[in-house]
């Protein structure tokens, strides 16, 4: 069966493979009540937060409770050359979870135990269904925290698979830097371990990094060992309004170039402030703003804050508002964390098409400002938020999914933005992954040769092409 026309436009190679009744029978026999073919369950597992029109859902959902369950599900699927799609909370933004080639979904949310905490080594080992908020709750008493915060309360498995990052990455890095080791079920149903708890290693190919960001196309991640960090002695947060997006961006660039170890620096444009004010009654000035956070010793935080306040003033920053207690900080961060939902609510029935470009910091203003002008001219409402300290930002174009013209306009804006970002030596995706949405962009960015190398690796490690096929690249 072919995909709907608008999806086919973006991903022409999708086609659904048959899922034989014999496989469904075998899954039912092995998994009993842990396997569902109820339509509501299947539909829920066949979509994500992207704006893709849903394709037919997976034929069954297996609720894995152990690595052995995953192994058995993958092995059975492999016997019938049927695709397997790992599923966490469904917060992917690029169509990662859509069953474009049919198959079964493996829901990993029941594998949600924190397996071990090693405070003295600053490591923790978790199952893939643990969410980042759950993890932080469970390790709170140790005085440690896991900083990676992509906004959604995503699972650690999903965050590993998409190489997620978010607001703290400017200081603490992304999943690339923070995953130490993995347990993975391969396409042949074998369980392998990559990496150890040592902080560094030169022991052979970096299989950990190969799986981090592989979007479920090489195997199912069943265990993750992460770095965690001491809760800073002092934390201070601030919002600061700027006369223009450009001023806010230039203040950010200078902060980064001076080497200030800022923990978070988030841009929110005036549209988004307005939406958030309407949604959460925050009463913020409806101007572009930076939300910042400083971590360190009391003296260190003070020093950083003073430096940044000076820089901000140079660029016309005003209405600096500080927060040092957890409650005040939470109030300030509400604006950022509610941005997505506030935007979606501002246009009832809409879906957001998210962009995710990331450019070298010196190119940030060039990349962002022209794209703002284009978005303003298009008439499509949008929100704009950015992890600007990393050169990464997101437009969310708010489209009516029933109006193909709006989608076309949004995709055209995205295309222009990505083209600009690549010219500026950046990437089409800083943290969301390729999924279905950016397969063509990936070829432009990486080149045919590099994408062919990815395909060669995929073919070697998954000869039946059963692991989340049709994502990252067509094959």
Instruction: Please state whether 272 falls in left (phi above 0), alpha (psi between -120 and 50) or beta.
Output: alpha
Q: Provide, rounded to whole angstroms, the least separation between the CB of residue 104 and its own copies.
A: 24
Q: Provide, rounded to whole angstroms, the least separation between the CB of residue 136 and its own copies.
A: 17
**For its own copies, the closer CB: 229 or 322:** 229
Residues 37 and 358: their CA atoms lie apart, in Å, by 40
Q: Provide, rounded to whole angstroms, the least separation between the CB of residue 233 and its own copies.
A: 8
**For its own copies, the closer CB: 149 or 287:** 149
Q: Provide, rounded to whole angstroms, the least separation between the CB of residue 93 and its own copies.
A: 11
Mapped onto helix, strand or coil, the DSSP state of residue 86 is strand
**For its own copies, the closer CB: 176 or 416:** 176
In terms of Cβ atoms closer than 10 Å to its own Cβ (0-12, 13-18, 19+), residue 334 is: middle
**For its own copies, the closer CB: 406 or 445:** 445
Per the CB < 8 A criterion, the answer to whether 421 and 358 are in contact is: yes
In terms of Cβ atoms closer than 10 Å to its own Cβ (0-12, 13-18, 19+), residue 74 is: buried
Of the candidates 295, 471, 472, 433, the one whose C-alpha atom is nearest the C-alpha of residue 354 is 433
**For its own copies, the closer CB: 142 or 378:** 142
Strand extents, DSSP E, 324-413: 351-354, 382-387, 392-399
Q: Provide, rounded to whole angstroms, the least separation between the CB of residue 440 and its own copies.
A: 12
**For its own copies, the closer CB: 101 or 429:** 429
Q: Provide, rounded to whole angstroms, the least separation between the CB of residue 134 and its own copies.
A: 23
Count of Cβ atoms closer than 10 Å to residue 346 Cβ:
18
**For its own copies, the closer CB: 288 or 296:** 296
Number of H helices, E strands in the chain: 18, 18
Q: Provide, rounded to whole angstroms, the least separation between the CB of residue 170 and its own copies.
A: 8
Mapped onto helix, strand or coil, the DSSP state of residue 142 is helix
Element (H, E) at 329: helix 326-337
Kindly list the distances between the CA atom of residue 167 and the CA atoms of 66, 208, 386, 469, in Å, as whole numbers in the listed order. 31, 23, 9, 30
């Amino acid at each position: 069966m072919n995909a709907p026309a608008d999806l086919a436009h973006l991903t022409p190679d999708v086609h659904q493979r048959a899922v034989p009744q014999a496989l469904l029978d075998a899954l039912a026999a092995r998994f009993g009540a842990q396997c569902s073919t109820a339509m509501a369950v299947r539909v829920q597992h066949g979509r994500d937060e992207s704006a893709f029109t849903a394709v037919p859902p997976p034929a069954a959902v297996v609720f894995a409770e152990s690595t052995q369950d995953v192994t058995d599900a993958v092995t059975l699927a492999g016997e019938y050359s049927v695709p397997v799609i790992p599923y966490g909370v469904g917060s992917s933004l690029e169509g990662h979870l859509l069953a474009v080639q049919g198959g079964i979904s493996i829901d990993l949310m029941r594998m949600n135990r924190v397996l071990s905490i090693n405070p003295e080594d600053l490591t923790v080992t978790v199952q893939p269904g643990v969410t980042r908020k759950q993890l932080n709750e469970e390790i709170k008493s140790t005085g440690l925290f896991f900083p990676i915060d992509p906004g959604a309360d995503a699972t650690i498995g999903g965050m590993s698979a998409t190489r997620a990052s978010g607001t703290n990455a400017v200081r603490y890095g992304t999943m690339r830097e923070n995953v130490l080791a993995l347990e993975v079920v391969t396409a042949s149903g074998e369980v392998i371990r990559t990496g150890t708890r040592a902080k560094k290693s030169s022991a052979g190919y970096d299989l950990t990094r190969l799986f981090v960001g592989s979007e479920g196309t090489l195997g199912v991640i069943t265990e993750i060992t992460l770095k965690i960090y001491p809760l800073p002695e002092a934390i201070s947060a601030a919002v600061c309004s700027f006369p223009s997006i450009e001023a806010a961006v230039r203040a950010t660039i200078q902060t980064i170039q001076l080497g200030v170890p800022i923990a978070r620096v988030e841009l929110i444009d005036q549209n988004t402030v307005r939406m958030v004010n309407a949604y959460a009654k925050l009463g913020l000035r409806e101007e572009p703003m930076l939300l910042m956070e400083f971590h360190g010793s009391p003296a260190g935080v003070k020093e950083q804050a003073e430096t940044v306040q000076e820089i901000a003033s140079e660029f016309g920053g005003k209405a600096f508002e500080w927060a040092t207690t957890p409650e005040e900080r939470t109030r300030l961060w509400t604006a950022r964390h509610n941005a997505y939902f506030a935007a979606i609510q501002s246009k009832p029935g809409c879906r957001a098409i998210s962009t995710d470009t990331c450019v070298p910091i010196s190119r940030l203003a060039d990349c962002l400002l022209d794209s703002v002008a284009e978005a303003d001219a298009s008439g499509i409402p949008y929100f704009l938020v950015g992890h600007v300290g990393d050169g990464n930002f997101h437009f969310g174009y708010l489209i009516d999914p029933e109006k193909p013209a709006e989608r076309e306009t949004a995709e055209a804006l995205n295309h222009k933005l990505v083209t600009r970002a690549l010219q500026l030596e950046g990437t089409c995706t800083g943290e969301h992954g390729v999924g279905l949405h950016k397969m063509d962009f990936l070829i432009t960015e990486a080149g045919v040769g590099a994408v062919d190398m990815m395909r060669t690796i995929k073919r070697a490690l998954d000869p039946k092409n059963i692991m989340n096929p049709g994502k990252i690249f067509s094959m």
